[in-house]
Amino acid sequence: MEILAIGRSIFDLFFPIRCLNCDSVISQRNPLCVTCAADLPLTHWNMDQYNLAFEKLKPFCKIQSAHSLLFFRHENVTQKLLHHLKYLNHPEIGYLLAEKTIFDVDLKKFDGIIPIPIHPKKLKKRGYNQILPYAITLAEHFQIPVREDILIRVENNPSQVFKNREKRLNSIQNAFGLTNQNLEGHFIIMDDVLTTGATISTCVNLIHAKFPKVKISVMTIACGV
Ligand SMILES: [Zn+2]
């Protein structure tokens, strides 16, 4: 036992696990230290029409309700979490954040979750669509399907980070398509972060153009402020 403990200390000495926010050494394989985890910028929103996510999307598309778990600011902990989820092969961050979301929302009444798809080239490079760990965990908890068979990505856009809303809208409008699947009911469109709302509103409008009676709500892990 003692030898094991010494061995672990030596391992930690050379390969310390660090909090991805404050860089302090942590003992377990969590993304954050206890202090940073307790300090997450949670929105505490309900899934409804009285929050910033709904306000951002309302001018551009018709949705029933919206929810985001975290506030997203330049270089805040949310940005670091999403960066690790998206680019540094940490899908477990999606599972952990979904477990927090379960306290905010009840998704049993919905007919399914439609994740925003990423282009096959990005999928091949990244290995997974970054929103799926989050989507799958919530879908399993509330026993609703994840509908990856509705939206398709048809054009690989360059990074959207530095474009303004108008430029983003122009480049994103041809980036998605619909499959031949039929759709009826109330669905949740899900993405990692809501900033200008260009991507999400494009997908909502695309679905409504073909299925005007389908109700759509929106969930994102984070909402830019
Ligand atoms: Zn920390």
Ligand 1 mean position to 218 CA, how many Å?
30
Tens-place pLDDT, residues 148-184: 999 999 866 555 555 676 776 677 888 999 999 999 9
Are the C-beta atoms of residues 151 and 114 closer than 8 Å to each other? yes
Tens-place pLDDT, residues 99-110: 999 999 999 999
Residues with CB under 5 A from ligand 1 (ion): 19, 21-22, 33, 36
Ligand 1 mean position to 59 CA, how many Å?
37
Tens-place pLDDT, residues 49-97: 999 999 999 999 999 999 999 999 999 999 999 999 999 999 999 999 9
Ligand 1 mean position to 127 CA, how many Å?
27
What domains can you pick out in the chain, each with its CATH number?
1-39 (no CATH), 41-224 (3.40.50)
Q: What is the model's pLDDT at position 40?
A: 96
12 has pLDDT over 70: no
Identify which of 147, 129, 123, 136 has the alpha carbon closest to the alpha carbon of residue 97: 136
Q: What is the model's pLDDT at position 170?
A: 73
Ligand 1 mean position to 33 CA, how many Å?
4
7 has pLDDT over 90: no
Specify burial of residue 116 (Cβ count, 10 A radius: 0-12, 13-18, 19+).
buried
pLDDT, average across residues 182-193 = 97
1 has pLDDT over 60: no
Ligand 1 mean position to 26 CA, how many Å?
8
Ligand 1 mean position to 21 CA, how many Å?
5
Cα–Cα distance list, 137 to 107, 163, 183, 185, 206 (Å):
12, 32, 22, 21, 26
Ligand 1 mean position to 211 CA, how many Å?
45
Ligand 1 mean position to 136 CA, how many Å?
27
189 has pLDDT over 90: yes
Identify which of 97, 187, 115, 188 has the alpha carbon closest to the alpha carbon of residue 152: 115
